[in-house]
A = this chain, B = another copy of it.
């Protein structure tokens, strides 16, 4: 019998287990948050369950207790991340702005918002590598109730009516372009700056890019 085995056996004898408070929701939320950061950092197969467990205030076993398995956890992390982002977008206020101003604002807000939501962007990157295999067909991830689209539809309609926007565009297309420019700025920073330097990521650089994004979207729709 090795020393380790002996000490283990001894440990078992009279060490009383610690007591604890039950807090299902708290534990769940804690795991979810830690897992979000972990998956965003390392991806699905790159993340170690032990790694997640270590950073929670609970144990590895509880992950399986609440989420079944690794993929189940990833799934809920993803759904939760979309939910949060949707909420952030809802907060944008465009009341009383002219179509031109409103469109620039929504574009530049998206640019800034994406910069703030690095974890979310990374999760989306990862999910696209997986070809969206884990996106549940749930209501959470449907575009029907996207406030971004609704806002763009409204703005574009008003601009058309005012005769300052050219016809033939769609809200989804506008959303596409705005997203592309804002998303890429976060998603591809690593490789791009490795190749072309990081001047574009200085405060000035980012201010310039933000303005350009507004310019491009606006000029795209103006007659």
Give A26-58 interface residues, CB cut-off 8 Å to B. 42-46
Q: Please state if A173 and B209 are interface contacts (CB–CB under 8 Å).
A: yes
Which B residues are in CB contact (< 8 Å) with A92?
A: none
> Which residue of the partner chain B has the closest CB to A220?
B216
A180 at the interface (CB under 8 A from B): yes
> Which residue of the partner chain B has the closest CB to A217?
B216
Give A128 to B220 CA distance when docked, in angstroms: 29
Interface 0/1 of A115-145, CB less than 8 Å to B: 0000000101111111110010000011100
Q: Please state if B143 and A188 are interface contacts (CB–CB under 8 Å).
A: no
A184 at the interface (CB under 8 A from B): yes
In the complex, the count of this chain's copies comes to 2
Pick out which of these stretches binds chain B: A63-71, A98-106, A191-199: A191-199
Question: Nearest Cβ in chain B — how far from A140, in angstroms?
Answer: 10
A61 at the interface (CB under 8 A from B): no
Known interface pairs A187-B128, A187-B187, A190-B131; A212-B143 also in contact (CB < 8 Å): no
Closest 10 CB pairs between A and B? Answer: A180-B184, A132-B190, A219-B219, A143-B196, A45-B46, A216-B216, A45-B45, A143-B195, A131-B190, A132-B194
Pick 25 A–B contacts, CB within 8 A, sort by A: A44-B46, A46-B129, A122-B129, A124-B188, A125-B125, A125-B128, A127-B190, A127-B191, A128-B187, A128-B189, A128-B190, A131-B190, A132-B190, A141-B195, A143-B197, A149-B196, A172-B197, A173-B208, A173-B212, A175-B196, A176-B184, A180-B181, A180-B185, A181-B181, A215-B220
Given contacts A146-B195, A180-B181, 5 further A-B contacts (CB under 8 A): A42-B45, A43-B46, A43-B129, A125-B129, A216-B216
The residues of A with any CB-CB pair to B shorter than 8 Å are 42-46, 122, 124-132, 135, 141-143, 146, 149, 172-173, 175-177, 179-181, 183-185, 187-192, 194-197, 199-200, 208-209, 212, 215-217, 219-220
